[in-house]
Amino acid sequence: MKVLATGTTGQVVTCLTEIAVRLGDVELITIGRPEFDLINPVPLREAIVAASPDVVVSAAAYTAVDRAEDEPARARAVNVAGAACVAEAAARLGVPLIHLSTDYVFSGDDPGPRKENDQTRPRTLYGASKLDGEKAVASITPRHVILRTSWVYSPFGTNFVRTILRLAKSREILSVVSDQHGNPTSALDLAAAILEIARSRKGDAFGVYHLAGTGGTNWSDFARHILAVSHLNGGPFATIRGIASADYPTRARRPQDSRLCTDKFEGIFGWCLPPWQDSTKLVVRRLLDPDLRLQSVARRPAAGGE
Ligand SMILES: NC(=O)C1=CN([C@@H]2O[C@H](COP(=O)(O)OP(=O)(O)OC[C@H]3O[C@@H](n4cnc5c(N)ncnc54)[C@H](OP(=O)(O)O)[C@@H]3O)[C@@H](O)[C@H]2O)C=CC1
Ligand SMILES: Cc1cn([C@H]2C[C@H](O)[C@@H](COP(=O)(O)OP(=O)(O)O[C@H]3O[C@@H](C)C(=O)[C@@H](O)[C@H]3O)O2)c(=O)[nH]c1=O
Ligand SMILES: [Mg+2]
């Protein structure tokens, strides 16, 4: 089957390319900058229609959480108008759209995990733009699977795992916030899930779903796990000092607890993503030894798990 994904160098799109090669029966087309920019999405929409895929994956987005506070118009243009144009292409083709969204649509003021219908109230401009993007997508095509995921990391691009490993090379102690809770998600797992959904052709599965790594944590414990694995494998190490968000001022105020409940996804699809610790280990080991091509698509069965 032919799957088209937006973006060229993003974490998820890069992992989609890797997993598609591994699967063998998916032709993955990626489309994005510099030829096609979501800021000017009509040519992108027309190119998607011309490519005539069986499924469209909307993986490109404005993801710079702090910068979005200073350029809201650009963030909204990409995440709302751009996402809408991608949805229009899928609607014109009459094919399913898998659209990625975020835990940052929630304020996180109350304890999680959060279900799909829980009240959304983004704290950040990034989160608000992604929420409006979801609404636009849903209004344009009923054949949408909106996947809200969180804390995405991978061997590629910009992410927390790579940042922590880089900082640990030059510092003995790192201060990391311990009062923000969420679910780290490997983009390799997510890409495998997206292609599994694309191939499953479940006719009644459209809607909004939460899909993230199994198990919750906070950023400082996530960092501790990253560096423990790194240390065991001869990589950089630093001591993590847990701090309060108030002691790590950022332009955007992140949710306090944006853990996602994945029961709905598990109920419909019958599986979920691996425990975040296992997937983090695979990605850290791959980053330390780029020749490693570790198995990263293992899944837990839905029943009988923890
Ligand atoms: N990263 C995370 O922690 C999380 C991400 N998500 C969502 O998952 C999706 C994938 O995220 P991820 O892979 O991590 O993103 P990345 O930040 O790794 O990559 C962003 C992608 O979007 C593309 N992009 C950004 N602006 C434009 C533009 N103006 N025109 C065309 N393409 C553009 C980039 O293009 P280029 O290749 O040219 O740079 C890149 O391919 C996004 O929808 C994001 O909101 C959800 C939860 C967590
Ligand atoms: C690097 C670092 C970060 N932090 C904090 C800042 C922040 O609260 C938290 C995570 O920082 P980041 O900037 O990596 O995370 P952030 O950009 O907020 O990550 C988010 O990205 C968007 C795209 C999403 O959709 C979200 O799911 C989420 O993954 O850790 C420290 O406390 N110490 C540090 O040394
Ligand atoms: Mg960031």
Domain ranges of the chain: 2-159+184-214+258-274
The C-alpha torsion from 182 through 271 and 99 to 12, rounded to 10°, is: 70
Model ipTM?
0.98
Mean pLDDT, residues 159-178 taken together: 98
The encoded tokens of residue 181 equal 């809770």
Mean pLDDT, residues 27-50 taken together: 97
pLDDT at residue 297, rounded to an integer: 42
Q: How far is the CA of 132 from the centre of ligand 3 (A)?
A: 20
Q: Give me the chain's average pLDDT, please.
A: 94
Task: List residues with catalytic annotation.
Answer: 126
- Pairing outcome for strands 2-6 and 97-102: unpaired
Counting from 1 in the atom list of ligand 2, the atom nearest the Cα of 63 is 23
Residues of the chain with pLDDT > 70, as a percent, come to 94
Q: 306 pLDDT exceeds 60?
A: no
**pLDDT tens string 119-154:** 999 999 999 999 999 999 999 999 999 999 999 999
Q: How far is the CA of 160 from the centre of ligand 2 (A)?
A: 6
Name the residue with the closest Cα to ligand 1, atom 48.
Answer: 150
Ligand lying closest to the C-alpha of residue 124: 2
Q: How far is the CA of 31 from the centre of ligand 2 (A)?
A: 27
Amino acid, single-letter form, for residue 199: R
Closest CA relative to residue 218, chosen from 108, 105, 306: 108
Name the residue with the closest Cα to ligand 2, atom 33.
Answer: 176
pLDDT at residue 72, rounded to an integer: 97
Mean pLDDT, residues 267-274 taken together: 95
Amino acid, single-letter form, for residue 28: L
Counting from 1 in the atom list of ligand 2, the atom nearest the Cα of 182 is 27
The C-alpha torsion from 97 through 79 and 52 to 146, rounded to 10°, is: -10
Residues framing ligand 1 (Cβ under 6 A): 7-13, 32-33, 37-39, 59-63, 78, 100, 102, 130, 149-152, 157
Mean pLDDT, residues 1-23 taken together: 96
Q: 290 pLDDT exceeds 80?
A: no
Q: What's the sign of the alpha-carbon dihedral 154, 15, 99, 125?
A: positive
Mean pLDDT, residues 88-112 taken together: 97
Q: Name the CATH architecture for the domain at 2-159+184-214+258-274.
A: 3-Layer(aba) Sandwich (3.40)
Q: 293 pLDDT exceeds 70?
A: no
pLDDT at residue 296, rounded to an integer: 47
Q: How far is the CA of 174 from the centre of ligand 1 (A)?
A: 27
Residues framing ligand 2 (Cβ under 6 A): 63, 65, 102-104, 150-152, 160, 163, 167, 174-177, 180, 219, 248, 250, 254
Question: Distance (Å, rounded) from C-alpha 305 to C-alpha 181?
Answer: 22
Burial class (CB in 10 A: 0-12, 13-18, 19+), 233: middle
Mean pLDDT, residues 6-23 taken together: 96
